[in-house]
Amino acid sequence: MSIAIDIQSLRKRYGRFEALKGVTLQVREGEFFGLLGPNGAGKTTLISTIAGLTRADSGSVSIMGHDVQRDFRAARRALGVVPQEIVFDPFFSVRETLRLTSGYYGLRANDDWIDEILHNLDLTGKADANMRTLSGGMKRRVLVGQALVHRPPVIVLDEPTAGVDVELRQTLWRFIRRLNAEGHTIVLTTHYLEEAQELCTRIAMLKLGSVVALDETRNLVRGMAGGTLVLRLAGAPLPASLAALQVDPPSDDRVALRIRHYDEVEQILAALRVAGCRIEEMELLPTDLEDVFVRIMRDAA
């Protein structure tokens, strides 16, 4: 399979702080790839380097075979980036903004594709509205449209649904999934791990500038056995013998216990009976990507 993004031994330092520590990874063409990590992990620096906005101290990045420094024009044309920050020109309407962005790529007769973008992002009714008048969610839709206006084969989405409503999320993911099905490569960074688990076929996790996990999503989740036993108890508090299993509960009035194997459930129930605990509610939650992420971040050096 061809490589859409090839990152080799990438390093970037800001003074004494090393934001990227020899990052190496490849994103395959047509892949829906997740890039996850806590704040300060190096995701923004990595995306800025991919986009050519930041120059690495060493290493290389290429987009569809084009080096982002030596062959920057071809690399820019192959890439569309939806930034995390909302930036817009207050003097233009939505349609004018997309036409102006088209002009940056030398596209003159692009109105049919612009109309399709407006339709798929539910912006048709706002096409002639000035950018200043739009809500935050609508402005973010325009940012997505700007990233797609030149039909790039590689699309990077940096926290595209941060702080937006459910309707925008559903509209955006429906359109992005369609583009991915048509062959576009998608790279997603998000703190909504349920989105990453549902959408991404492969995931890289960064911590302090280094890749600490890289695998198919299903392999990451399957590699962590067990789940979480959520209980609402009455009659007596959780016995001390089970305290080491406790994790943050879904709500204040319930107890959550981390189990590594399902046969531990019987032992837990026996300990609760001996302690005089009465179970009013019980739910067994399977392992998800959030559990995997928390453990990898905790165990990574």
Residue with tokens 């906005």: 53
Tell me: the pLDDT tens digits for 162-205? 777 787 788 889 999 999 999 999 999 998 898 999 999 999 99
3-state secondary structure of 284: strand
Tell me: the pLDDT tens digits for 246-300? 887 656 688 989 888 788 899 999 999 999 999 999 998 878 888 888 888 888 7
pLDDT exceeds cutoff 90 at 208:
yes
pLDDT exceeds cutoff 80 at 301:
no
pLDDT of 225:
65
E strand intervals along 53-207: 58-63, 66-67, 79-82, 154-158, 185-189, 202-207
Whether 12 contacts 57, CB under 8 Å: yes
pLDDT of 252:
67
Contacts of 46-52 spanning 24+ positions with Cβ under 8 A: 46/7, 46/10, 46/20, 46/206, 47/81, 47/156, 47/158, 47/189, 49/10, 49/12, 49/20, 50/5, 50/7, 50/79, 50/81, 50/156, 51/79, 51/81, 51/156, 52/76
Task: Delineate the domains of the chain, giving CATH numbers in brackets.
Answer: 1-78+189-223 (3.40.50.300), 225-299 (3.30.70)
Whether 175 contacts 120, CB under 8 Å: yes
pLDDT of 1:
66
pLDDT of 182:
93
Extract the tokens encoding 81.
């980036």
Whether 27 contacts 186, CB under 8 Å: no
Tell me: the pLDDT tens digits for 60-81? 999 999 999 999 999 999 999 9
